[in-house]
Each structure stands twice: as C-alpha cells, then as structure tokens.
A and B are shown apart, each in its own frame.
Chain A
Amino acid sequence: MSETFTKAMARNIFYGGAVFFFLLFLGLTFDTMQTLPKRDHRENITDSVVRGKHIWETRDCIGCHTLLGEGAYFAPELGNVYTRRGGPFIKAWIAAQPTGAPGRRQMPQFNLTDQELDDMVAFLKWTSEVNTNKWPPNIEG
C-alpha cells in the first residue's frame, strides 16, 4: 500500500466503519422489532406453544432436524411439518420412535405424555404460521 495511506487512516476507517455499520444494524433491528408482530403472529403464542418450545429445546431436536432451515441436516425440516403431516401424524410418529429398521437413521423415544405431545404440536403449528417469505420452496421442506 502507498506511503500516503497511513496506519492512522486505516485505523480511522476501522473505527468509523464499525461504529457506523453497527448503528445501522441497530436501526434495522429496531425497525424489524416494530414489524415482527404482524409476521410472527405472537398473539397466537399460547401457554401450550411456550411449553412446546421448551420440550423442543430440552430434547435437543435441533441436533438432528432443521427448524425454518436452521439446525442439523440429518432429519427432515420441521418448520412446515404441521402443514405436511398434520397434528395426529406428528403425535403418532413421535410416540412410535424408534422404528428399529436396521441401518436406518433412528429417532430416540422421548416418553412424552399426551399433554406434552399436544404442546409439541401446538408449537409446530404456530411455527408453520410464521411469515417466512414463502420458504421452504415446497411442502417437502
């Protein structure tokens, strides 16, 4: 780099750039927070949805599945599983694990109660209704 471009100038670009773009990021975040209620339908977050999210977390579902595309890629996307399979199928599926089919990927048995299964479905139903800009591309997730 040329001698006229000094270290002090480089340092100033760093500090100025970092501060400016972090403030811009905060501004965009503020705007996003204003817009989100219309997109996440938080009025539909019932106690059951809250409990369902807790079950989702404490069984580390994200360690195999994706949810809205984030997580592990070992098992199907679940952000739209409610639309793809429906509530009764989800409950029956979780209750029936593991399949024990030799050589196939296995999901653990979590021994969830019927209430807990309902909570799980409520959480997945709420998730499927979030406005995700039409993602995933199709029903297969």
Chain B
Amino acid sequence: MQFQSQAVAKPYFIAAIGLFVGQILFGLIMGYQYVVGDFLFPAIPFNVARMVHTNLLIVWLLFGFMGAAYYMIPEETETELFSPKLALLMFWIFLVAGALTIVGYLMVPYATLASMTGNDILPTMGREFLEQPLITKVGIVIVALAFLFNISMTVLKGRKTSISLVMLLGLWGLAVFFLFSFYNPSNLVLDKYFWWWTVHLWVEGVWELILGAMLAFVLIKVTGVDREVIEKWLYIIIAMTLITGIIGTGHHYFWIGTPEYWQWFGSVFSALEPIPFFMMTVFAFNMVNRRRREHPNKAATLWALGTGVMAFLGAGVWGFLHTLAPVNFFTHGTQVTAAHGHMAFYGAYVMVNLAMISYAMPMLRGRTANSGPAQTMEMWSFWLMTVSIVFITLFLTAAGILQVWLQRMGSTPLGFMAAQDQIMIFYWLREITGFVFLLGLVLYIWSFFCKKGEAQTAA
C-alpha cells in the first residue's frame, strides 16, 4: 500500500464479499424452488428471493467497484484520496441502506413496502433489477455523487493517467444512466425502452469501462509491462465496447413494441459485441506472457486471466448464441437468457472484482502476497466456482433449448408448466452444481484466514 488513504477500500471489499455470500444463498433457495415449487412458500416467495438475489449482486458489485476506485485512484494519481472520511461515511450509509432494503423485501409485503416508501408519489418500483424503494434509489444517487466527488477531486489534484480517466468515465456513466431508473411512464413500451438505458448501458456499456480499467490496473501491477502498452490496449478495447455496445442495445428492441429496423441494428451490432471481450482475453494473456517481473501473487494473476476468458465465453459467446433476431424470436425470455446472464455476470463483473480484491487485499493487510498455502486454497476456489458456473450455464442452456423446442416449436406445443415439468432434470443438476459453487465461495473466504506458510512482505 503506497498511500494511507487506500485503506478505505478494505471495508468496501469485505462488505462486497459478505453480500456475495448472501446472493449465493438466495440463489440456492431459488434454484430449489425451481424443483420443489412450494419451498419456503409463502414466507419467501420466488419473486422476493429473486429480488434479493439480483439486488445483492448489483450492490456487492458496486461495493467492489467503489472499493477498487478507492484503492486504484490514489496509486494512479499518486496522491492521497481527497477525503477518506467521506469515503468511510458513504460506506456506512450505503451498507445500512442496502441492508434495510433487503430486510424490507423480506419482512414486508412488496405492495406495503411500496406505499411506505413513497412509491405513490413517484412510482419507480416493481421493474426488474430496479425494484428498490424510491428512498433507496435516492440514497444510491446521493452515495454515488459523494463518491464521484471524492474520486474526481482526487484525480483533479493528481497525476491523470488513462486508467484513472477511463475508470472515472465509467463511474460517471454508471451514475448518469442510473437516473433513467426514475423515469417510469405508464406506457409500458416507453418504460421498457428507457429501462434498458439503465440496464443495458450499464452492463454492456459503462460497466465495461470500469472492468477494463480495473483489469488494466491489476495487469500493470502483476506483470510490470509498460503502461503505454497496457493503456493502448485499454483504449482500443473500450472503443470496441462502445462502438458495438451502444447500438447493440437494439437486441433488446426486437419484440417490445419497437420498430422492425431494430432487428437489423440490434443483430449486426450485438453480433460484434464479442470482439472487445475476445480482445480482453488476448490482452490479458499477452501481458502475462510478456511480463517483466514475477509477482508473488499468483492467485491475482489467475483471476485476471480468468476474467478475460470467462467474460468472453459468458458475455461474448453465450450472448452471441441468442442475439440474432431470428434466433432470439424463439429464445427470448427462456432459460437461454438465464444461462447467458449467469456466466456473463460471473465472468465479467464477479471475476474482475475478485481479481482486484485478490491483488489489493494482501496489500491492505500489509503484505505483497498471501502465503503459498493460502494462494493454493484461493486457486482451488477459483476453479470450483468457475467450473461450476460453466456447468450451471450448460445445464440452463440445455433446459432453455428444450423449453424452446417443447413450448415454442412443433405442431402441438406444450403449455409453460407442462414444458417445465419435462426439463426438471436440468434444474436439479443446476441446483446441485450450485452447492459446488457455494463450496468454492466458502473456500475463497477461508483462504483469507489461512495461517499456514509465510506471507510475502518484500515489495
């Protein structure tokens, strides 16, 4: 750790991992509800479990991004953080607001929660991923603005590297596009159109800038490759991201009431969206192969390489599978989408956060890298989680293809539930694999407490 104020990243990373655990537990509940439909009903209906699962994911990724920014920016700008106190204050506000929101989902019927929290004044709730009560949404904006103020002021007074500028641009974009979550017209088609401006322009737009900047930062640190080379790659990757991804939003505009021409724009541009992810994989392997130093943190390098590969598979390949309009006509709104969602989020955003945490956390604990046995344990957790997400994706893909076949093709299509009954075996396999993922996550956390071996302290 080169700057004292980087220490504020630590609580952010710890909270991120804690919420990650919660996300996985609720995922397991939902997975079980897929096979035993009345599990925990009516205490935790499926829709409540799903809100908790997806909202925890978003919140912990945001904790990870913020922690990453607080760690990276002082080092990149070569100056202390503008206000570590503000960063800590925002940490607690965000954590308490997030926890209260989850408690609200679980303890109060959603309609009651909505009327308690001002949803009748400005209705924003009840839309996928944006289920948060109005006061939580306002809280997110306040925390985001305070965070951006803090980070921007730091960049302004320090060295302006490309990595810090790209990170800043991504984070500002994140805040700006979140504002569309406050726009909820009573015309469903308009609602859906602009809902994607938050959801798509986040995950297939500005979040990829954050991802690229985080990956570039970790790669510079672990490989020692010249900054000029890495930053050139970063720019070209994020250029391709936005060139393909902005118009790529069109792949959501095939069947929601929007004009036919979106089938062409959406298909062509989103078919190109794998390119930046492929470049990311080539980039990561290239930089590691050309490394100028042997960084003792092998686990962080593994996560960084894994991010490239899994983001390409999950977001790139699995996205392409169902992004062409004639294919999407059949797969839209099936388990194929769920398959893609799981591997894309894990491969891109979960893994880049874990790569950053893997690199930064030992530093924050006063060492260059964890001991050999601790790293071995962490690498086991890498493989357990990564292989199980691959299998979860394969099982959901199989379920999705069968679902399409049974319910949407042929002369005697089955009804929704009849088709679901036919593909139950894949839901069982997915749920079992989910427990392997949990095992990997437990091992991951355990690796932080591994006392065996000597941690490496030499810089």
Contacts and interface: CB of A to CB of B under 8 A. Distances in A.
B258 A32 contact: yes
B186 A138 contact: no
Interface string A23-57: 01100110110011001101001000110011011
A86 interface: no
B330 A64 contact: no
A74 B188 contact: no
Contact of B235 (A10, A77, A126): A10
B225 interface: no
B189 A36 contact: yes
Contact of B413 (A103, A110, A140): A140
B243 A21 contact: yes
Interface residues of B, number: 80
Contacts of B260: 133
A106 interface: yes
Given A21-B243, A36-B189, A140 B254 contact: no
A6 B162 CA distance: 13
A114 interface: no
Contacts of B413: 138, 140
A105 B246 contact: no
Nearest to A23: B246
Contacts of B414: 140
A10 B333 contact: no
Given A21-B247, A63-B51, A132-B256, A70 B232 contact: no
B329 A135 contact: yes
Interface in B253-287: 253-263, 265
B157 interface: no
Interface string B232-256: 1101101110110011011011111
A41 to B, nearest CB: 9
Contact of A39 (B50, B111, B131, B259): B259
Contacts of A53: 186, 188
A92 interface: no
Contacts of B42: 98, 106, 108
Nearest to A18: B242
Nearest to B128: A62
Contacts of B111: 58-59, 110
A69 B231 contact: no
A17 interface: yes
A130 B335 contact: no
Contacts of A36: 189-190, 257-259
A72 B128 contact: yes
Contact of B259 (A6, A35, A140): A35
A21 B231 CA distance: 22
A14 B235 contact: yes
Contact of B45 (A14, A104, A106): A106
B188 A127 contact: yes
B243 to A, nearest CB: 4
A76 B46 contact: no
A14 B46 contact: no
Interface in B201-255: 228-229, 231-233, 235-236, 238-240, 242-243, 246-247, 249-250, 252-255
B192 A49 contact: no
Contacts of B367: none
A77 B416 contact: yes
A120 to B, nearest CB: 13
Nearest to B283: A1
B41 interface: yes
Contacts of A133: 254-255, 260, 263
Nearest to A47: B186
A140 B418 CA distance: 11
B34 interface: yes
B358 interface: no
Contacts of A95: none
A22 interface: yes
Most A C-beta atoms less than 10 A away, residue of B48, B255, B407, B408: B255
Contacts of B184: 57
Contact of A25 (B232, B246, B335, B415): B246
A34 to B, nearest CB: 10
B416 A135 contact: no
Given A58-B126, A138-B408, A18 B246 contact: yes
Contacts of A58: 110-111, 114-115, 119, 123, 125-126
Interface in A84-123: 98, 100-108, 110
16 contacts: A7-B231, A24-B246, A28-B261, A36-B258, A40-B189, A53-B188, A57-B125, A58-B125, A63-B51, A64-B46, A69-B332, A73-B334, A74-B47, A104-B38, A105-B33, A141-B407
Given A5-B232, A28-B262, A39-B258, 17 more contacts: A10-B232, A10-B235, A17-B242, A21-B246, A21-B247, A32-B253, A54-B123, A63-B47, A67-B188, A70-B192, A72-B50, A108-B41, A130-B189, A130-B256, A137-B408, A140-B407, A140-B414
Question: What are the nearest 5 A-B pairs in CB distance?
Answer: A63-B47, A57-B126, A69-B333, A105-B37, A135-B255
